[in-house]
Structures are given as C-alpha cells and as structure tokens.
Amino acid sequence: MRQICNSGQCFRMELLENGNYKVIAGDKYLEVEQKGEDCTFFCQEADFDSFWETYFDLDRDYASCISKIAAEDVYLMKAARFGSGIRILKQDLWEMIVSFLISQQNNIVRIRRCIANICEKYGDEKRDIHGNVYYGFPKAEVLAKLEEDALKPCNLGYRSKYVVRTARSIVNGEVNLEALGSMKYEEAKAELLKLFGVGVKVADCICLFALHQMEAFPVDTHIRQALEANYAKGFPMDQYQGMQGIMQQYIFYYELEGKKEQENT
C-alpha cells in the first residue's frame, strides 16, 4: 500500500497514525490494513466486489508482467523490484481529469492539498466508518457554475481556469465521459486533448489511471530523464505491449523514491 500511496497516481490516499491507509475515491471511503503481503479491507463485502476489487486491479498478475522484463535490462529490473507492490488503480474519470490538470508544474504534496481544498469546499459531506466527516469529489456540474478564478483560493493558481473550463466542456457535452470509456487508447487520448489545459502527458495519465489503458506511457521530467539516461535508442515499447503503463509506473516510482532511498543509505 505504501508504494501505491507514493506512486503519484492517486492523491486521496494517506497513511493513518495507526499504520493503516485510508482511501477516498469519488464518494467512497475505505481503510486498508497491511501485514506483510496480506491486506484487510474494512468495507462491506458487496462494496469490495462491486468497486474496490476493480479499483485496485486485483485480478491482474503483476508478477507475470515483471517476469517479462528482459534480463539484460538491469535498470528496469531494479525499478520493477523496487516498486513491485504497485498496482495501476482504476479511478474515476472525472476525478482523474481534475487531478492531473492540477498536477501540472506541481508536486505530490501540493496536489493532495489542492484536491483536499476543493473537496472540502465543493464536495458533498460524508461520514466514514468511524462517523468522522470526509468530503466526496465535487461534481462537474458544481464546478462548471464557478467563475474561472474561483478555485484560486484553493491554491490552484492558474490551473483554476483549466478545471472550470473543462467542467463546462463536460457539462455542455463537448466531451462525453461515458463515450470515452468505450474508446480505444489513441481515440480517447485525442478526445481528452480537446479539453482546455490537457496536454499529452496529462491525457496519458488520464488514459492510464482512469481508463486503464495500459499502453499509455506518460512522460514527465522524471521519466524523460530516466529514458535519456538508460534508453539511448528509446524505451522498447513493443516488448511490453499491453503493459507499457505498468513499466512506466515502476520507472516513475524508482526515480521518485528509489534514488531518495539510495541517498539515505
């Protein structure tokens, strides 16, 4: 769970004081306890079957993906071993669009704070399993009614207009979220690029973390530097057909956390 939490794909998952993790996805709340490789999900069995099992991509054999890494690719093997607990979450499409619009030129700590702010101000109030208040993710219809700069007090800065204009595009039917779910990767990516503020990297993140299109391979500064240092001829995409995004996450997490860990040892 720690690896998933710190992998940069979700921003409403956090470590609690008791060592468990809490996850808020859309309007849903979950706590997870991990002991070794065993995880206990504190939720109704029906919720686990209908939502969380898919959310955590529990039916996919990630060990099999790692086993397909070429033995001579020492860097990728090291990255995959370091991040072997990561799973690609299947998250809400609207939430991912907003999250990755906010992520531009931003760091994970600030992104989490921005999202917490807009949820507290514009999301529906809910109660968790302990009776404590948490907030659902604000609906597009709510954010579409705002002035373009209305989210600046939530620390979004210039990204405020990205989110508000995108919400309007979705509410007005310029981009149909339901239709996106049935599109193939290239088609979905092209459709997402129509949204104000969505560039190639953001579109790829949405395709990977919401639409679960594993051929998406988002390239940010961390990934670009890793590719330049380790793949002079380019990353061997063809070798990892249907799992490129999984390999991207191993590389991203290793660059973000693995190097840091090496520096501290």
> Any idea which residues carry the catalytic annotation?
201
Contacts within 8 Å (CB) and 24+ apart, 36-43: 39/1, 42/129, 43/129
Measured in whole angstroms, the distance separating CA 218 from the mean position of its chain's CA atoms is 11
> Based on C-alpha coordinates, what's the Rg of the chain?
18
CA 131 vs. chain centroid, Å, equals 27
Q: Residue 257: name the closest of 236, 227, 226 by CA.
A: 226
Cβ-contact 86, 250 below 8 angstroms: yes
Query: Alpha carbon 84 to chain centroid distance?
Result: 17
Amino acid (1-letter code) at residue 106: N
Longest CA–CA separation in the chain, Å: 54
Rounded distance, CA 203 to CA 188, Å?
Answer: 9
Asked if residues 159 and 101 have their Cβ atoms less than 8 Å apart, the reply is: yes
Residue given tokens 């404590």 in the structure block: 132
What does the angle CA 23 – CA 26 – CA 30 come to, to the nearest 5 degrees?
Answer: 25
